[in-house]
Amino acid sequence: MRVLRRGLAAAILAATCLAGLSAASAQTLPPLPQGIREGGVLRAGVRCDQPPYGFRGADGGFAGIETEMARQMAAWAFGSADKIDLQCVTASNRIPQLNARRVDLLIATLGITPERAQVIDFSNSYRWGGSGLLVKKDSPIRALDDVRSRSVVMLRGTTQAQWFDANMPGLNALRLNTASDALQALQQGRAEAYAHDAATLVVIAARDSSLRVVEEPFAVTEAAVGLRKNEPEWQAWINAALDRMKAEGLYNKWVESVVSAEIRPFYLSAFNDPKPDAR
């Protein structure tokens, strides 16, 4: 009986400690800014064509790691993950959508760059993201420099477009608006390589055995939440929410829920390891 009582006491103590930790975790978020609170929902711009970060699921609904981040923020801000207004954004329209106040934040594969920092503010980074090239399996392209005399498709307004402008200004570049259009251009032979986030290209290559990713990353950046200029209270709340996601292991949980086992290490590394060196 004495042993049982000791066990029961230990269990109660453990439960109390866990409850305390949970309460402490919940208290790490600063007050929600009045303007956001009065809106009653979180208006988030997410990608709808960038698996596994943001895409349309089998049922047509919003899905992806960054989409789950937005839902979790809504749950912490308003008490329910359903208190959210998700809006699809593209690489070229996401910052205009934010600055036009159609959304309150961007969680949309947004890399931190000096050019973007002139027009928006960023949260702390939550992962790194490298760029890569997708080519047909029998392509002679084996390295980044091999595309100097070839055609490359990329999306307008992306870090890849900026990188090629700075590093290969004479490149024969085809610039389109959506990932699906860019992939189609590669498959139809209108371009010999598709430059995009390596994380997205890894998923495409895993699904299509006729394609492969060139083994030379470039333009490695850190991804962050995009915010309008001069909203320090909102920025502080977002940073605290990101810290809490990391502390509670939510990034790894979301990666495991949407990424297949064979390519999962790439994404777990992006959320947990330091940014690698690259061109």
Please write the tens of the pLDDT for every residue from 237-273.
999 999 999 999 999 999 999 999 989 999 999 999 9
Q: Are 46 and 180 within one domain?
A: no
Is 17 a member of any domain? no
- pLDDT computed for residue 67 by the predictor: 98
Q: Are 204 and 258 within one domain?
A: no
Q: Are 258 and 215 within one domain?
A: no
Is 28 a member of any domain? no
- pLDDT computed for residue 155 by the predictor: 95
Average pLDDT, the chain: 90
Instruction: Output 164 or 7, whichever has higher pLDDT.
Output: 164
Q: For residue 25, is pLDDT > 50?
A: no
**CB–CB of 71/81 below 8 Å?**
yes
Is 109 a member of any domain? yes
Q: Are 88 and 63 within one domain?
A: yes
Q: Are 122 and 228 within one domain?
A: yes
- pLDDT computed for residue 277 by the predictor: 84
Q: Label residue 13 by pLDDT band (50, 70, 90).
A: very low
CATH number at residue 247: 3.40.190.10
Q: Label residue 4 by pLDDT band (50, 70, 90).
A: very low
- pLDDT computed for residue 5 by the predictor: 36
Is 13 a member of any domain? no
The residue out of 220, 249, 264 marking a domain boundary is: 220
Instruction: Output 5 or 131, whichever has higher pLDDT.
Output: 131
The residue out of 182, 200, 220 marking a domain boundary is: 220
Q: Are 136 and 160 within one domain?
A: yes
- pLDDT computed for residue 255 by the predictor: 97
Is 86 a member of any domain? yes
- pLDDT computed for residue 9 by the predictor: 39
Q: Are 58 and 163 within one domain?
A: no
Q: Are 112 and 145 within one domain?
A: no
Residues 6+ apart with CB under 8 A from 83: 40, 41, 42, 74, 75, 77
Is 71 a member of any domain? yes
Is 206 a member of any domain? yes
- pLDDT computed for residue 278 by the predictor: 84
Instruction: Output 21 or 188, whichever has higher pLDDT.
Output: 188
Q: Label residue 28 by pLDDT band (50, 70, 90).
A: confident
pTM for the whole structure = 0.79
Q: How many domains does the chain have?
A: 2
- How far is the first Cα of the chain from the last one, in angstroms, to the nearest whole number? 67
Q: For residue 50, is pLDDT > 80?
A: yes
Torsional sign, CA 137, 195, 66, 24: positive
- Phi/psi at 71 (nearest 5 deg)? -65, -40
Q: Are 179 and 139 within one domain?
A: yes
Tell me what the mean pLDDT of segment 204-211 comes to: 94
User: By C-alpha distance, which of 113, 266, 253 is closest to 200?
Assistant: 266
Q: Are 161 and 267 within one domain?
A: no
Q: Are 102 and 140 within one domain?
A: no
- pLDDT computed for residue 276 by the predictor: 85
Domain that holds residue 170: 130-220
Tell me what the mean pLDDT of segment 210-217 comes to: 94
- Phi/psi at 258 (nearest 5 deg)? -125, -10
The residue out of 190, 205, 220 marking a domain boundary is: 220
Is 242 a member of any domain? yes
Amino acid at the residue 8: L
Q: Are 199 and 150 within one domain?
A: yes
- Cα 59 to Cα 148: distance, rounded to the nearest angstrom: 41
Report the range of poorest mean pLDDT among 5-9, 181-185, 228-232.
5-9
